[in-house]
Structure 1
C-alpha cells in the first residue's frame, strides 16, 4: 500500500517542476527582449557598403594625416597658433582613422564582435572623442583667424605666439581623456550582448543621463557651427571686398584666394558634420520614446550613413592642410616631382613659413603696396 504522504510530496514536486518549466519557457524570452529590444532593428543591409566606405576612408585618411604629421614634426618651419591647431587636428584624425579597421572587421563578420565589451566601448569612445576634438579644433581655428583679422594690434601680437594654442590644445585633450576614464571603467550591464557593437540601442528611463549628455553635445556643436559661420563669413566678405575695391593692386588676387580657402573650411565642416547632427535629434528621440520598428530602422540607417560623412572629415582635412600650410604644399610638390621625375617648380617659396600667413615676401609686398594690417595672419 502506497504512503499517501509520499504521493502528496511527489505530486507537489511535479507541479513545481511544471511551473519552473513554464517560467523558463515564457519568462526568459521576454527578459531577453527587454534587455535587448534593439536587436529587432535590421542592421544587415549596410554591412558591405559600410565596410567598403570605411576601408577607402581608412587608406586615404591614414596616408594624408601621416604625411601631414611628418611635415609638421620634421620639416623646419616657424611655429604659430595655426600650425599648432593643424598639428593637433591631424593627430585627432589619425586616431579616428585607427578606429576604422575595428568597424570594418565588425561589418565583414556579419556584425558580430569578437573582442569583448570593454574593447567595444574603448573603440567607440575613441571614435567619437576624436570626432568632437576635430570639431572643437576647427572652431578654434575659425576664432583664431577672426581675431587675427579683426583683433587689436596687441591681440594679433599675442596670437602670433604658439603658447596660447598649446595651452588650449592641452586642456582639450586632458578633458577628453578624463571623460574617457569613467566611461571605460563603467561596469558591464548583465543584459549586454557581447557579440554586438556599434549598434542601435534604446535608452531606458533610468539612464536619462546619457540623453542629457547627448543633448549637451548637440548644443555645443551648433554653437561652434554658428561661430564658425559668422567668423569665416565676415573674413571672406571683408577679403573679397578688399580685392574688389583695389583690383589693380598685386595683392588683390591673394585676397580672393584666401576668401575661397575660408569658404572651403566652412564647406568641409558642413558636409562632414552637419548631416550627423541634424539626424541626431531624430535618432535620440527614437531611443527614448516608443516608436515603431520602421522608425527605429530608419533612424539606424540615417545614423550610420551620416556617421560615414563624419569619418570622411579625416580624408578632407589633409586637403585643408595643403591649402593652409605652405610647408605641407612644398613637401607634397617635392614628393610629386620626385615620383614623376619633374622639376620642383615650387622652388623655395614659402620654405620658411608654415602657412601662407607667414610668407614674409607677401607681407613686405602688402605693407609696401597696400599697408593693410589685416593681411597678416590670414589663412
Structure 2
C-alpha cells in the first residue's frame, strides 16, 4: 500500500521535468527565431545604407572639395574684385563663384552626417542640403555651357564681344537663375523626400528610394538625354573648330589668341565630362537595377558619383593657376 503512492509521485515528478524541458526548449527556439528575424531585418536595412568604406571615401572626397574649393573660391573672388572686369565672361564666372560658395556651406553638414551616422538637423534641412548639391550641378552646367557657346559664337562671327555690355550678362544671369529655379525647385521639393520614412531614425540623403515613382524616372531620363546631347554636340563642334584653327595657323598655332581662347573654353566641357557625366551615366544603370532588396554596392557607387559632381568646385584653382583667363 505504501509503494504505490511513491511510484505515482515519481511518475508525476518525471512528467513535470519533461514538461519543463519541453517549455525551455520551446522558449529557446522562439528566442532564436526572434534573433534571426531581428538580424535579417537589420541587415536588410543596413544594405540600403552607406557602409564604413563608403563613408570613408565620401568623407575624404568632401573634405578635399571643402578645403580646395574654399581656397580657390576665396582667392578667385579677391582677384575678380581687384580686376573689376566688366566683361560678360567675368560676370558668368561670378555666378559660378556664388554657386560654389552655396555648395561649400552645405558640405560641413554632409561631413557631420557621414562621421556620426546620425542626421541632427531635421528633415527639411536634409532636403535643402540634398537639393543644393543637385542645384549646384545643373546651374553650374548651364553657366559652363553658356561660356562655351559664347566662344563658339564669337568664332563663327555671330557675336562680337565688344558689343556685349555688362547689363547683357546681368540679364542673362537673372534669366538663368529664375528659369532654373522655376523648373528645379518644384520638381525636387514636391517629388523628392516626401515619403515619411526619410525622417525615421535620423537618416538623410536616401532620396534614391523615391525613384520607384514613374514620374521621377521619366524626369531623370529626360535630364540625362538632354545633358548628354548638349555635351556631345558642343564637344564635336569645339573639336572641329580647334582642329580647323590648328590646321590654319600651323606651326605657330599657340601664338594665335583665338586658338588659345577655344582651348581654354574647352576646359569647361572637360569639367562637365569628368565631374557630371559619370553621375548621369551611372544613373541609368542605377534606375534600372536598384531595388529595396539589393546589396549596398549600387548605393555606394551612386553616392560616390554624386560626390564627384562637387569636384568641379576645384575649377577656381585652375583659374588662379592660369589655365583660364
1:79 and 1:162 in contact (8 A); partners too: yes
Off by >6 Å, runs of 4+ in structure 1: none
CA contact (8 A) 1:69 1:91 kept: no
Q: 1:303 to 1:139 in 2, by over 3 A?
A: same
* 1:347 matched residue in structure 2: none
Which structure 2 segments of 5+ residues have no match?
1-33
- Kindly indicate whether residue 95 of structure 2 is the aligned counterpart of residue 88 of structure 1: yes
Q: Kindly tell me: are residues 231 and 79 of structure 1, through their superposed partners in 2, closer, same or farther at Cα, counting changes over 3 Å?
A: farther
2:165 to 145, 161, 166: 161
Q: Secondary structure at the match of 1:324?
A: coil
- Asked if 1:265 corresponds to 2:264, the answer is no
Summarize the alignment of residues 321-360 of structure 1 with structure 2, pairs less than 5 Å apart: 322-325=322-325
Alignment pair present for 1:170 and 2:171 = no
Match of 1:276 among 266, 274, 279: 279
Do 2:86 and 2:166's aligned partners in 1 also have CA atoms closer than 8 Å? yes
Q: In structure 1, how many angstroms separate the alpha carbons of the residues matched to 2:307 and 2:234?
A: 22
Where in structure 1 are there 5+ consecutive unaligned residues? 1-25, 326-379
Q: Which residue of 2 aligns with 1:53?
A: 61
Contact 1:120–1:197 (CA under 8 A) maintained in structure 2: yes
Deviations 1:163-209 (A, max 9, x none): 3332222122123333426744779533332511113633375x322
Q: Distance in 1 between matches of 2:103 and 2:211?
A: 29
Query: What's the counterpart of residue 127 of structure 1?
Result: 133
Tell whether the 8 Å contact from 2:76 to 2:319 is kept in structure 1 after alignment.
no
Q: Answer whether contact 1:81 1:164 (CA < 8 A) is retained.
A: yes
Q: Specify whether residues 252 and 54 from structure 1 end up closer, same or farther in structure 2 by C-alpha distance, changes over 3 A only.
A: same
Distance 1:167 1:148 in 2: 19
2:315 equivalent to 1:309:
no
Superposed displacement of residue 157, structure 1 = 5.3
Alpha-carbon distance, 1:210 to partner: 1.8
1:298 corresponds to: 297
2:76 pairs with 1:68: yes
1:241 aligned onto 2:247: yes
Q: Which has the higher contact order (CA 8 A, sep 6+)?
A: 2
| Cα distance in structure 2, aligned partners of 1:156 and 1:54 | 40
**Equivalent position of 2:231 in the other structure:** 225
Alpha carbons 1:232, 1:266 under 8 Å: kept:
no
> How many aligned positions are there?
283
1:298-329 deviation line (CA, Å, top 9, x unaligned): 3212212222321111012441464332xxxx
Greater helix share, 1 or 2? 2
- CA deviations over 1:24-81 (Å, ceiling 9, x no partner): xx9xx99xx8xxx765324112112211221111011011112222332x22444122
**For residues 149 and 216 of structure 1, what CA distance do their matches in structure 2 show?**
31
